[in-house]
Structure 1
Amino acid sequence: MTNSALKQFPQTADETRRLFDLQYRASRDESAPDYKLRLDRLERLRKLVADNDEAFVEAMNADFGNRSTHESRLFEIVPVLNAVRHTRKHLKRWMRDTRRPVDLAFKPATARIRHEPLGVIGIIAPWNFPMQTSLTPLVDALAAGNRAMIKPSEFTPRFSELLRTLIARYFDEKEVAVVTGGAEVAQRFSALPFDHIIFTGSTAVGRKVMEAASKNLTAVTLELGGKSPVIVAEDYSIEKAARSVAFGKYSNSGQICVAPDYALVPRAKVEEFARAVIARAEKSFASIAENPDYTSIISDRHRQRLVNAIEEARAAGATVLTHHDSDVARTGKIAPTVVIGAPKDGVLMTEEIFGPVLLVKPYDTLDEALAYIRDHDRPLAMYLFTNDKQTERRILDGAISGGTTINGTVLHVGQDTLPFGGIGPSGIGAFHGEDGFYRLSHARSVLKIGFINGFEKMGPPWGGLASKAAAFLKKR
């Protein structure tokens, strides 16, 4: 089966609509699931992942051509299981009504917020982390009492088909369903009148999803991407920064939405840093071509785009450093690469790289580095390396990003206690854990009138009591 196989066997429009209508009707006709049922659904999801982890690893490995088993387990399976564990532990507290104060004019009434299911959630997942991006939003959706439909990527057909089969085994189709197929199926999917859509993927496709959702006034959470910067401050060890950047950049061969895209480094340390990154990559991956721990690029098209971008930079006079085992064309891999001095109008400088290629740019002052970041779209992630508290505060205040890891890379995404999301072209909204529960819940305001209703006592017909009350309330 090739990576285009699912395009030959798409789910029909009628079947997709049938599944949606089934879930939609159930979300309106049946009571909101109680705590016990939500725990049961989360437990079934946990068993689905835990009981079939080997099958998922094998499917993802086959889809990529080669996918590191360790990366599949640590970046896909473990985060989903952690999300379930964290959610089950805290769900009862999240579900409690939240008391709110009542203004003097309305006392002795009481006020509270009920967190209720939105209804049917559409989840559109990409290929780079097919399990995590499909199932961590599902954890939030189920915790909030919703039903969900998942559209995984056509670039991971084996994973997608396995997920479809297993979801049907562990869940009633009124609870959770998977829709498989290519771009046409995805377009129909995003045009359904969901109560909320969570999309993870490119900014370009995110715009299309948002446009389709707007016709139904469907709210969206968009987790996009962009060029996530690194700032290495003068005080920080080049060796330590290079180690962390290499980890974030070359895991999954850079096919990570929050991977470091470019590093801003003090001018005098640029070459030292670049060579330290490559040295760390060579230590982490002694070889590339036959190394099962170094992940392949997902498709020929994605690989050729990266090859062309590197050659464009080289032809323009950029310095290109690469892993010694760089002749890996036959394996579907691209070796770890660092580029210094890429042309400002080239692909590497203007587009999200989404591969194992790191740009390094010099800066002379920290203000200059921060100005460069501010002059571009707000990134999904930003990484800063400093041991100085004032420098840390200055960088955090000086440029905004969706999330940040300090003295490391990508690890903030793995925290279930932190929201994950971008800003503008890098995303809309955030989820994960408690933030995901509230994102996919409706905050319903409830005011309960006390033993006396003061406003009704004042009128109409309005008279002296209303005038005195208004005068008093204005002066408070």
Structure 2
Amino acid sequence: MTATPDVELPDPFTGTGTIRNPATGAVAGEVHWTDPADVPHLAAGLRAAQREWEARGAKGRAKVLARYAVWLGDHRSEIEELLIAETGKSAVDAAQEVPLILMITSYYIRTMEKALAPETRPAALPFLSIKKISVHYRPRPVVGIIAPWNYPVANALMDAIGALAAGCAVLLKPSERTPLTAELLLRGWLDSGAPDVLALAQGARAVSEAVIDNSDFIQFTGSSATGAKVMERAARRLTPVSLELGGKDPMIVLEDADVDLAAHAAVWGAMFNAGQTCVSVERVYVLEQVYDQFVDAVVRDVKNLAVGSGAGNDIGSMIDESQVDVAERHVADALAKGARVLTGGRRGTGSGSFFEPTVLVDVDHSMACMTEETFGPTLPIMKVSSADEAIRLANDSPYGLSAAVFSKDVDRAKEVALQLDCGGVNINDVISNLMCTTAPMGGWKTSGIGARFGGPEGLRKYCRVETVVSPRTAVGAGGNYYNNSHRALQRMNTMMTKLALIRPRRMAK
């Protein structure tokens, strides 16, 4: 048998590329792909500009971020039109992104000076009070952000705003599926009078690798498998990373829940953005006492959803046919293993990358729809006999991003929440933890490392911590140097040991 010689295919991410609307096939725009060899020059320019940006201090940077927030608000319609053209979203889905970024920006403008201010720390022992201890948060020069396609505004800027507020420069690599929105966001940054501390690198894997190799910190959002590769490459230079990765977020409906509220929440949480949300509801466990009532309410709500891109629709297009394939595979696998489809379950019948909003019942953990991330408009519902069973099944997953618990007894719901292995839990709501800008958002297990954004953690993650120890007085300086007698050193060490053990001895009694 004769071997076929390899054919060298052209790289689709060189020169100029055409971006099409996945709902209609219409051209959304053109993008110039970045040569990976140019990324070191981009990073060097950012690193030079970052020094002046850091020197402005928190107040100076806050003024720039405020102007950018105003620009985003003034250009919201333009941004949302491009989002729809580039992703095939429904208008209601596209309308969520800019307001979230404005909330995050407003929070950091108000709090960044305090969050980044040097902190004084007390002496560990009284005789060490001759030293003044201060902890400083120094920005890393260049933060590389590798953003996904599902929220081209939110997933880029919720990270970039925090890094810029901290005093870093940002090298943003948007998804090759949605590069156009990032171009518009960069234009707005410059139009609002901001300095050149935000730059884009457009492309796919080779450009991502170059960004990792030339940054001082990496924020990656995407799949768990790709996150592991990002971390592995960053480890070559010991570059720190923050990762928000895949999820299979569970929802638990207890027997005393407001069933209609829970059903409405489950449908919105599962179908919002065509299910292409990291914290979407991907599986539901319902106590048997309210199972039938809950399922009926969910099916009723799903059947009322309008599918289509743009205005007047609830559920837009999926990003491409590969995502439709995943949803189709998971449904087919469930049906083959005994599940039933109560509504939906098929690809869209017209043009575009659509999948019908789908409700699955009679499901279990032998099925991919309950164990693998679908990232599509499907809602598998499983009947359980107790809260303990629901907790066990919810934790039976390699993922741990977020979850939801529904019960009229909020204290009981909190008890359940604190037994779930994930980074955030919503009680009697879904996805709302994304709006809580004062608290860190991140995942456990294979859903990520570190906090994504929120609270002072969302700024300090981009900083190096520097401790400065200065003298309050010259008295006592050099007391433990070698030029003292061995007897003096022994006395000092004995005193330190006794003082340090006072509290442990008291507590040990």
| TM-score normalised by structure 1 residue count | 0.91
Query: Partner residue of 1:10?
Result: 33
Q: Structure 1, unaligned stretches of length 5 or more?
A: none
Q: Secondary structure of 2:176's match?
A: coil
The structure with the largest helix share of the pair is 1
Does residue 398 of structure 2 align to residue 377 of structure 1?
A: yes
| Partner of residue 184, structure 1 | 206
Change (3 A) 1:264 1:314: same
**Greater mean alpha carbon deviation, residues 6-15 or residues 130-139:** 6-15
The answer as to whether partners of 2:245 and 2:443 remain within 8 angstroms in 1 is yes
Question: How big is the shift at 1:204?
Answer: 1.1
Residues 156-204 of structure 1, C-alpha deviation per residue, up to 9 Å, x if partnerless?
13323433444454567741101112233223323x2311111111111
CA contact (8 A) 2:83 2:181 kept: yes
**Which is further off, 309-318 or 194-203?**
309-318
Say if 1:187 and 1:278 are closer, same or farther in 2 by CA, change over 3 A. Answer: farther
From 92, 114, 131, the counterpart of 2:153? 131
Residue in 2 that maps onto 1:288: 307
Q: Secondary structure at the residue paired with 1:260? A: coil
Contact 1:421/1:429, CA 8 A, preserved across alignment: yes
| 1:205 has 2:236 as partner | no
1:228 matched residue in structure 2: 249
Q: Equivalent residue of 2:278, what SS?
A: coil
CA pair 418-128 structure 1, distance change in 2 beyond 3 A: same
Other structure's SS at 2:130 match = coil
1:154 to 176, 198, 205: 176
C-alpha distance in structure 1 between counterparts of 2:395 and 2:325, whole Å: 31
Superposed, 1:288-307 pairs within 5 Å as: 288-289=307-308, 291-307=312-328
Letter in 1 for 2:359: V
2:258–2:408: 8 Å Cα contact kept in structure 1?
A: no
Amino acid of the structure 2 residue aligned with 1:392? A
Larger deviation, residues 237-246 vs 255-264: 237-246
Is residue 141 from structure 1 mapped to residue 141 from structure 2 by the alignment? Answer: no
- Looking at structure 2, the residues matched to 197 and 389 of structure 1 have their Cα atoms a distance apart, in angstroms, of 38
Deviates more, 1:337-346 or 1:428-437: 337-346
Contact 2:53 2:168 in 1 (8 A): no
Match status 1:270 vs 2:291: yes
Aligned residues: 471
In 1: Cα distance, 2:204 partner to 2:248 partner: 27
- CA deviations 1:295-345 (Å, max 9, x no partner) are 111112211221232123223321112259985443432222111134644
Residue matched to 1:116: 138
- 1:65-85 CA distance string (max 9 Å, x none): 3x22232222x1001111111
CA distance in 1 between counterparts of 2:490 and 2:130 reads 21
Which sits farther off after the overlay, 239-248 or 461-470? 461-470
Amino acid at match of 2:166: A
Read off the aligned partner of 1:143 and give its amino acid letter: A
Quote the sequence identity (%).
28
Q: Spell out structure 1 runs of 4+ moving beyond 6 A.
A: 4-8
Q: Does 1:87 align with 2:85?
A: no
Question: Does the 8 Å CA contact 2:283/2:381 hold for their aligned counterparts?
Answer: yes
1:251 equivalent among 269, 272, 277: 272
- Say if 1:438 and 1:52 are closer, same or farther in 2 by CA, change over 3 A: same
CA apart distance, 1:53: 1.7
User: Quick one: distance in 2 between partners of 1:64 and 1:474?
Assistant: 64
Amino acid across the alignment from 2:409? D
Instruction: State the TM-score, normalizing by the size of structure 2.
Output: 0.86
Q: Give the corresponding residue for 1:467.
A: 490
Q: Is the CA contact 2:68–2:188 (under 8 Å) kept in the aligned structure 1?
A: no
Summarize the alignment of residues 12-31 of structure 1 with structure 2, pairs less than 5 Å apart. 12-27=35-50
CA distance in 2, matches of 1:390, 1:228: 21
Q: Which string of whole-angstrom CA distances, capped at 9 and with x for unpartnered residues, describes residues 127-147 of structure 1? A: 111100101111111111111
**Conserved? CA contact 2:308–2:314, under 8 Å:** no
Please give the per-residue CA displacement for 1:257-279, whole angstroms capped at 9, x wherever unaligned: 00011011113433332221121
Q: Quote the Cα distance in structure 1 between the aligned partners of 2:239 and 2:347.
A: 46
**For residue 197 of structure 2, what is the aligned residue in structure 1?**
175
Q: In the alignment, which residue of structure 1 is the partner of 2:281?
A: 260
Q: Structure 2: which 5+ runs fail to align?
A: 1-17, 22-26, 500-509
Partner in structure 1 of residue 412 of structure 2: 391
Q: 3-state SS of the aligned residue for 2:326?
A: helix
Between the aligned partners of 2:346 and 2:32, the Cα distance in structure 1 is 39
Q: Residue 77 of structure 1 corresponds to which residue in structure 2?
A: 98
For 1:216 and 1:327, the matched residues in 2 are separated by: 46
Shift of residue 27 of structure 1?
3.9
Aligned to 1:449: 471
The CA distance in 2 between the partners of 1:336 and 1:193, in whole Å, is 42
1:383 alignment partner, SS class: strand
User: Equivalent residue for 1:411?
Assistant: 432
- Where do residues 346-357 of structure 1 align in structure 2 (5 Å cutoff)? 346-357=367-378
CA contact (8 A) 1:289 1:328 kept: no
2:79 alignment partner in structure 1: 56
Alignment CA distance shift 1:374-1:87 (3 Å): same
SS of 1:404 mapped into structure 2: strand
State the alpha-carbon separation in 1 of the partners of residues 30 and 232 from structure 2. 23
Cα distance in 2 for partners of 1:325, 1:203 equals 27
Change in 2 beyond 3 A, CA 1:7/1:343:
farther
Q: 2:235 aligns with which of 207, 214, 217?
A: 214
In the superposition, relative to structure 1, how do residues 289 and 450 fare at CA in structure 2: closer, same or farther (>3 Å)? Answer: closer
Residue 436 (str. 1) matches residue 458 (str. 2) = yes
**Contact 1:229/1:379 (8 A) holds in 2:** no
Note closer, same or farther for the CA distance 1:308–1:328 as it changes in structure 2 (3 Å cut).
same
Q: Aligned AA for 2:401?
A: L
Please state how far the C-alpha of 1:436 moved relative to its aligned partner: 0.8
For the Cα contact (< 8 Å) 1:229–1:261, is it kept in 2? yes
